[in-house]
Amino acid sequence: METKLTVTTGTLSESRRKFIEKAGASLLLGTLGVSFFTSCANSEDTNPSPPPSNSGSGIAISGNTISIDLTIQTRLATSGNWLLIDNAKVLVANINNSYVALTSVCTHSGCSDSWTFSNQRFTCTCHGSVFDPGGSVLVGPARDPLTSYRTSLSGTKLTITK
């Protein structure tokens, strides 16, 4: 016994067609809007501190060497504090009374003056990349580490060599 299939063809009424077009466009725009705003979100709330000022205050830059007088930059002498040296494009932090120095030029897009430091993590606030004190990437979009520089302490003089 054979079963016959009946196919009915037709067109959507004008009002249904417009409804489907508008619903599809709204769904597409809503999806794009949500993905745009969530891509800029950062789930980690670390309450970071802004960089302290370093203008004219015990910092000398000569070629690839940066000298910091800790009797003038007293904040940096305390563990947990940090400094962004704009002119040299260097981040320096005191972590458990050891000093680390990294380039302040983010490997993601080259931002160099928009950083925070909290919980022993440097965050480039341009796009949210997070780096550990050794310069390794913890959170992207950056994929490459920050360049690390040698530090040495002699009395109250901290020297960074690029």
Query: What are 55-64's pLDDT values in tens digits?
Result: 457 999 999 9
Residue scoring higher pLDDT (106 or 42): 106
pLDDT-above-70 percentage for the chain: 68
Residue 154: strand pairing partners: 157
Q: Which residues of 76-113 are buried (b: 16+ CB within 10 A; e: fewer)?
A: bbeeebbbbbeebebbbbbeeeebbbbbbbbbbeebbe
User: Distance (Å, rounded) from C-alpha 81 to C-alpha 49?
Assistant: 9
Residue scoring higher pLDDT (88 or 29): 88
Q: Mean pLDDT check: name the lowest of 14-23, 57-66, 114-123.
A: 14-23
Residue 77's nearest CA partner among 99, 47, 48 is: 99
CATH number of 59-161: 2.102.10.10
Cα–Cα–Cα angle for 73, 111, 40, rounded to 5 degrees: 115
| 135-151 average pLDDT score | 94
Tell me: the pLDDT tens digits for 77-107? 999 999 999 989 999 999 999 999 999 999 9
Domain residue spans of the chain = 14-43, 59-161
For residue 115, give the DSSP letter: E
Q: Mean pLDDT check: name the lowest of 21-25, 58-62, 98-102, 152-156.
A: 21-25
Residue 81's nearest CA partner among 99, 72, 91, 94 is: 94
- Identify the pLDDT of residue 31: 66
**Contact by Cβ (8 Å): 137, 118:** no
pLDDT-above-90 percentage for the chain: 52
Residue scoring higher pLDDT (112 or 125): 125
